[in-house]
């Protein structure tokens, strides 16, 4: 949710609001951990990313596919695919 309005500057230094304050912007933050413990806080946080462009849907209808890929050098790449009503907004590498 935006705490303040977001907008752009238009002709004449005028602030044009694009997203009014208190607007919910659909995003998902995904934290990636490494470890063997059952609680995430007891494992090592490798990083996080945010998936944007998610179509509005009830929480129970949201499906997220997370893909982990490790290359020959041991580099981990994590991608996500948001599936809602057949729309894919982020593609996982196959």
Quick: pLDDT tens for 36-51. 998 998 999 988 887 7
Is the separation of the CB atoms in 1 and 22 below 8 Å?
yes
Encoding tokens for residue 44?
């090592």
The model's pLDDT over 44-73, given as tens digits with 9 standing for 90+, comes to 998 888 777 777 666 667 777 778 888 899
| pLDDT, mean over the chain | 79
Place 94 in a pLDDT band, splitting at 50, 70 and 90: very low
SS (H, E, C) the chain: CCCCCEEEEECCCEEEEEECCCCCCCCEEEEEEECCCCCHHHCEEEEEEEECCCCCCCHHHCEEEEEEEECCCCCEEEEEEEEECCEECCCCCC
């Amino acid at each position: 949710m935006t705490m303040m309005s977001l907008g752009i500057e238009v002709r004449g230094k005028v602030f044009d609001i694009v997203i009014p304050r208190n607007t919910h912007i659909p995003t998902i933050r995904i934290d990636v951990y490494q470890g063997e413990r059952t609680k995430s806080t007891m494992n090592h946080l490798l990083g996080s990313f945010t998936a944007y462009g998610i179509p509005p849907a009830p929480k129970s209808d949201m499906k997220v596919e997370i893909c982990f890929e490790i290359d020959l050098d041991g580099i981990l790449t994590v991608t996500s695919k948001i599936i809602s009503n057949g729309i894919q907004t982020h593609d996982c590498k196959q």
